[in-house]
Amino acid sequence: MEHRDKAEGSKRMKHLVTGWFIILAVFLLNQGAQAIEIGEIPLKVELKEKLGGRLDGKPWSSEELLGKVHVLFYVDPDEKDTNNDASEALDKEKFPSDQFQSVGIINMAATWLPNFAISSALKDKQKHYPKTIYVRDNKKVLVNAWKIADDSSNVLAFDKKGKLIFRKDGKLAAEEIQNLIRVIRDHL
């Protein structure tokens, strides 16, 4: 009987130690994944097939953020109007299309809304902002790879070499919108 109790205790101890090692490993892995910072080039991401892609089904890659100054809106569909003031302000600037591009990436996994409803809203947005490239992220790829806010509206700007030059997770205040415009102008 005593032998069985020792064996049971030993078995529980192994499970406890294994559990702690798993927790520690997950913690250390998460520590290695850092949010993209100003001046950095983000990890390459590709949205294609089950992961997402452009509205027409073609793949999208973050390598497309080269050659022009880009502003990227990464948006939870439930937060689609959060940074409309920033979108309108950028539209009014009439930046030259050979030097500037806007991208709207929709965090499809951040909402309960059905995909057909989101797709319909995206088609309306495309009509309002015809020069913007719209992309679907079906699996929170950018949230995980770049550590940007989930369930939010995020605005990121990149210079012609793909370096991050502006970042805001959440709603931009009027002065932040002006700062975004100034940063874009400085890098055109």
Domain match, 20 and 85 both: no
- Check: CB of residue 134 under 8 Å from CB of residue 122: yes
b/e map 68-96, b = 16+ CB within 10 Å: bbbbbbbbbbebbebbeebbebbeeeebe
CATH number at residue 148: 3.40.30.10
Domain match, 28 and 44 both: no
pLDDT tens digits for 30-84? 444 578 899 999 999 999 999 999 988 999 999 999 999 999 999 999 998 999 9
Domain match, 139 and 157 both: yes
The number of domains in the chain is 2
Q: How far apart are CA 81 and CA 150, in angstroms?
A: 16
Q: How far apart are CA 39 and CA 56, in angstroms?
A: 32
pLDDT tens digits for 127-137? 888 889 999 99
Domain match, 115 and 164 both: yes
Domain match, 137 and 154 both: yes
Residue 24 pLDDT: 39
Parent domain of 9: 1-32
Domain match, 17 and 76 both: no
pLDDT tens digits for 107-150? 999 988 887 788 778 878 888 888 899 999 999 999 999 999 99
